[in-house]
Chains A and B, each alone.
Chain A
Amino acid sequence: QQPVQSPQAVILREGEDAVINCSSSKALYSVHWYRQKHGEAPVFLMILLKGGEQKGHEKISASFNEKKQQSSLYLTASQLSYSGTYFCGTAVSGSARQLTFGSGTQLTVLP
């Protein structure tokens, strides 16, 4: 069962902030965040592990609430380059590492 992302789409002005949410009905081992620009491959942004550890790009921040099986991606002081579709991918164990992806959140940053 795929995770649910919200919102489906968001439009921002440069410099504004946004939060993208990802929610799962299953107990998760990890949550991964990717950004995909039109016609390009998804690019890794962040991984958050059960237990609190995380790894990702410096300018990206995210949280993982293990009790609620929810993750949020925080985009602050957005830039034009942040535009794209954001996907969360979830893994339910550390041994089975294939990801189940949400349907994506389309982010558009306007000048």
Chain B
Amino acid sequence: GAGVSQSPSNKVTEKGKDVELRCDPISGHTALYWYRQSLGQGLEFLIYFQGNSAPDKSGLPSDRFSAERTGGSVSTLTIQRTQQEDSAVYLCASSLIGQYYEQYFGPGTRLTVT
């Protein structure tokens, strides 16, 4: 079946503009995660959605970042008033909810803020 998809694959934006990044999880996966990976670095947790529960936003770096998940499926990560330090690869992952909840990652969106 299809894996996690993300769009766009690349986004170049000017400092101060807003951007929206989209994630389409694997069908049936009720958990969805957003991570950020800066050049040569590890993955940094941003936000986690599980079913209809309130999302865990504890990893969002500032109030310029927000995310929503509609209908328990597609998720959008929005960054307002982008800054150069927001430049990174934004990765989305999804998983089942069960004892084993291996996360399957999408290809990511490379965001460059100029």
Determine whether the beta carbon of B31 is less than 8 Å from that of A97: yes
B78 contacts the other chain (CB 8 A) = no
For residue A89, which residues in chain B have a CB less than 8 angstroms away from its CB? 43
Interface size class of chain A, counting residues whose CB lies under 8 Å from the partner chain: 20 to 34
Least CB separation from B104: chain A residue? A44
A42-B91, A55-B100, A87-B42 known; A97+B48 contact, CB < 8 A: yes
| A97/B42 in contact, CB under 8 A | no
Complex interface residues of chain B between 3 and 51 (CB less than 8 A to chain A): 4, 31, 33, 35, 41-45, 48, 50
For residue B34, which residue of chain A has the nearest CB? A98
Is A100 a contact partner of B104 (Cβ separation < 8 A)? no
Write the B35-75 contact mask toward A (1 if CB under 8 angstroms, else 0).
10000011111001010000010010000000000000000
The 9 closest A-B pairs by CB, nearest first: A41-B105, A101-B43, A98-B48, A101-B42, A44-B102, A103-B42, A98-B45, A55-B100, A42-B105
Q: List 30 A-B contacts (CB under 8 A).
A: A2-B42, A32-B103, A34-B105, A41-B4, A41-B105, A41-B106, A42-B105, A43-B105, A44-B102, A44-B103, A47-B100, A47-B101, A49-B100, A87-B42, A96-B56, A97-B31, A97-B50, A97-B95, A97-B97, A98-B33, A98-B45, A98-B56, A99-B33, A99-B43, A99-B45, A99-B103, A101-B44, A101-B45, A103-B42, A104-B42
